[in-house]
Chain A
Amino acid sequence: MTDLHHYLFVSGLLFAIGLAGVIVRRNIIVIFMCLELMLSAANLTLVAFSRFHTVNGLPDYNGQVLVFFIITVAAAEVAVGLAIIVALYRARQTVDVNDLTSMRG
């Protein structure tokens, strides 16, 4: 049988891979994808807990609603983020984070 550990471990693994991608990659679009991956990994945790913590014989739908919200917000985030990237690319002609250092204090 697959118990909660399995799901949590898969979720953690996905999160770790996403994190590694954020750290290692320099293409800002790929970094963005990795962030999405990390969000989805968190979703997996939520859904798993929802299923494993039943309330009155049903899955805990609070968790699933939260996943729904996260996906919605993530969609908005992607839209805005990509728009920013496009604007950034227009101004700088690059998507390499090593060239985007104007925030240096």
Chain B
Amino acid sequence: MIVLLILIPIAAAIAIMAGAPARPAALGAALLNLVLGAIFALTFTGNPDDGGLTIQILEKPNIHLALGLYDGMSIILMLLTVIVTFAAVLSGRCPEGTERIWFPSTLFIAAGALGAFLSTDLFFFYAFHELALIPTFIMIGMLGRGDRKEAAWKITIYLAFGSIVLLAGLLWLVNAAGADSLLFDDLLASTIPADQQKGIAAFLLVGFGILVSLFPFHSWAAPAYASAPAPVSMLHAGVLKKFGLYGLLRLYPMISEGLQPWLTWLIVLLLGNILWVGFVTINQKRLDLMLGNSSVMHMGYVFLAIAALIAAGSESANPIAKPAAIVLMFAHGVSIALLFGLSDRIERKTGTLELRDLGGLAKSAPSLAFLFGLAGLASIGLPGLANFAGEVLVFLSGFKEFADDPAGGLGPIQVATILSLWGVVISAVYILRAYRRTFQGPVVTATDGARDLTFAERIPAVFLAFFLILPGLYPNTLIQFMAHDAPSAEPPQIVHDADRPPLGIPRWSPGEGSMLTEH
């Protein structure tokens, strides 16, 4: 059943390319996905096999097309994807005549992201992410704004490089693990020799790090998001970028020891994300570049939670870190998608995103101002909105070690947390500056007579805002999905393909002769 979540957008995308009415088909697929995603999440019982499927694709290496809700982390990210996809499809501003590229690409990105988050097999976990990247590149290169060639070039080179490093790391990991198959169950049950963990961890950190724009591999992000069409920046910054963090958290138990030696480096880099990029963000003169940089900066907080997890040594030693990272990922995804969606609206209504050309927009467009303000305040961690819940949990996870043993004094993670907290001030500076420049003050030429959001334009924004407010007021609505996360005691049995019978046995049944075997 879960496979529907991936099949629906792909089917819709193909149908659109074949000539189906683009917008209705895309919207229908996104809506259907949203409903299905909600149903799957709410009816999830904690058994990863429920509604999942496992099809063996190759025997050696033992690869399965395995999909399913592996744990709460998958559920929350799946929900994030269907939510942002719906809003992205709904709010896409498609240039005349490009519907057959625009909507299928958007849907393919969504399908790829869903596939990556729902795969319970390492191979497809990686492959689906790559599937999502291709339409991203295409959309930026073909339908982007401004310096789109340059931006597409940069993001392609960068992410391809990151993917290659990641692939090398994953190959090493699989090799070292020596598990029966590439299923997460088998991989996580295996152990990697300590002497190899360090190298694997380095590859995975760099590979995933580049995909998440970890400092200093971050400079592709802002120009790419600024040039990308709105749905792409919403989906990539909001959803797809979380793939790297998800991957680190997912594979963390396998390389928990190997990550320890890199802790200091990770802390330095994440502080680079928060403080250095934070300052860079302050200096941005365009709204979209500022938002792009801010999304880079906020990734630092998720890395902080991961660093706390690494320092603690296991999930049980710091039970706050993982939920903190996941909640913050969800919150950041929704808020940055809303911000990019609305900044696209601002450009549409005023014709510019240069901060110095804007002003007083709140007068003529109060709903736009309200929603942008809400999203902006969410992204700087105002309580009552989802990001705060994530951030406060991240900070708590950073101090968990100190809380357990105050006599030990402040460790490196605590110092990093304290320094990261300054980022809360930095982000307030740039968001409020941008809001002040764009919406407040006297009306200027560009904003004179700019019209407010129409009812149709408000729907996706209010929809996203709802998912900032609900977990913000009561974070347990999200965290409860992770209550199931106790790893299952025994991994499910994989039935391997029976040996082929010798020639001449005249029996053919769907089971034995076919290349696909379903279980």
Which A positions have Cβ atoms within 8 angstroms of B? 55-56, 58, 60-62
Contacts and interface: CB of A to CB of B under 8 A. Distances in A.
A48 to B, nearest CB: 18
Contacts, number: 11
Contacts of A61: 503
Interface in B470-519: 502-504
7 contacts: A55-B502, A55-B504, A56-B502, A56-B504, A58-B504, A60-B503, A62-B503
A54 to B, nearest CB: 11
Contacts of A58: 503-504
Contacts of B503: 55-56, 58, 60-62
A55 B505 CA distance: 13
Nearest to A61: B503
A55 B503 CA distance: 8
Contacts of B502: 55-56
Nearest to A60: B503
Nearest to B503: A55
Contacts of A56: 502-504
B148 to A, nearest CB: 23
Contacts of B504: 55-56, 58
A1 to B, nearest CB: 26
A61 to B, nearest CB: 6
B48 to A, nearest CB: 39
Main secondary structure of the interface of A (DSSP, over half): mixed
A56 to B, nearest CB: 7
Interface size range of chain B in the complex: under 10
B508 to A, nearest CB: 14
A31 to B, nearest CB: 33
Interface in B145-181: none
A58 B502 CA distance: 13
A88 B504 CA distance: 47
A62 B503 CA distance: 8
A60 B503 CA distance: 8
Given A55-B502, A56-B502, A56-B503, 8 more contacts: A55-B503, A55-B504, A56-B504, A58-B503, A58-B504, A60-B503, A61-B503, A62-B503
A56 B502 CA distance: 10
A58 to B, nearest CB: 8
Nearest to B502: A55
A17 to B, nearest CB: 34
Contacts of A60: 503
Contacts of A55: 502-504
Contacts of A62: 503
A68 to B, nearest CB: 15
Nearest to A56: B504
A63 B504 CA distance: 14
A55 B504 CA distance: 10
Nearest to B504: A56
A58 B503 CA distance: 10
A55 to B, nearest CB: 6
Interface string B384-396: 0000000000000
A60 B502 CA distance: 11
A62 B513 CA distance: 13
Interface in B367-409: none
A62 B500 CA distance: 13
A58 B504 CA distance: 10
B318 to A, nearest CB: 53
A97 to B, nearest CB: 32
B512 to A, nearest CB: 16
Q: Which 5 A-B pairs have the closest CB atoms?
A: A55-B503, A61-B503, A62-B503, A56-B504, A60-B503
A55 B500 CA distance: 15
A59 to B, nearest CB: 10
A45 B389 CA distance: 69
Nearest to A62: B503
A41 B502 CA distance: 28
A62 B504 CA distance: 10
A57 to B, nearest CB: 11
A51 to B, nearest CB: 14
Interface string B283-315: 000000000000000000000000000000000
Interface in B59-74: none
A56 B504 CA distance: 9
A56 B505 CA distance: 12
A60 B196 CA distance: 46
A88 to B, nearest CB: 26
B65 to A, nearest CB: 25
A65 to B, nearest CB: 10
A61 B503 CA distance: 8
Nearest to A55: B503
A13 to B, nearest CB: 31
A1 B509 CA distance: 42
A61 B502 CA distance: 11
Interface string B38-56: 0000000000000000000
B502 to A, nearest CB: 7
B113 to A, nearest CB: 33
B331 to A, nearest CB: 46
A56 B503 CA distance: 9
A50 to B, nearest CB: 11
A91 B502 CA distance: 52
